[in-house]
């Protein structure tokens, strides 16, 4: 499925991954948790649920508007009306990548 991945210190990129939970976990490097969402695009952004307790912690990625810092690699996935994760259209993926890129650039993350 088409997703957007944002790694610390890098711009977001669009790529294809499989639909299995294990593949999402491989992207973030562990168990996944929702770190933010983009309701306009029906998108959920997953990160590593243990990012803060790892030793050393995963690298800084970006800060949300509410002040929460996001650590480690994140993956943005689109959902459907049944709550299933589905492949993003190319257009949606480009919008999500732009939002993640602009959001992190605006807050001074690199």
> If 0-12 CB within 10 Å is exposed, 13-18 middle and 19+ buried, where does residue 70 land?
buried
pLDDT in tens, 24-35: 999 999 999 999
- What pairing do the DSSP bridges indicate for beta strands 85-86 and 32-38? unpaired
Residue-range definition of the domain harbouring residue 54: 2-106
Angstrom distance (rounded) from CA 39 to CA 30: 25
103 confidence band (pLDDT: 50, 70, 90): low
pLDDT in tens, 33-85: 999 888 999 999 999 999 888 878 788 888 776 778 888 999 999 999 898 99
Number of domains in the chain: 1
* Side-chain-side CA neighbours of residue 49 (13 Å): 6
The b/e string for 51-63 (b: 16+ C-beta within 10 A; e otherwise) is beeeeeebeebbb
């Amino acid at each position: 499925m088409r997703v957007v991945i944002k790694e610390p210190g890098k711009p977001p990129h669009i790529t294809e991954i499989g639909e299995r939970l294990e593949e999402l976990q491989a992207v973030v490097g562990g168990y996944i948790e929702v770190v933010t969402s983009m309701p306009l695009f029906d998108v959920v952004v997953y990160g590593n649920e243990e990012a803060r307790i790892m030793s050393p912690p995963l690298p800084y990625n970006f800060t949300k508007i509410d002040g929460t810092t996001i650590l480690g690699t994140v993956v943005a996935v689109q959902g459907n009306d049944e709550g299933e994760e589905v492949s993003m259209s190319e257009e949606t993926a480009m919008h999500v990548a732009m939002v993640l890129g602009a959001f992190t650039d605006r807050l001074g993350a690199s």
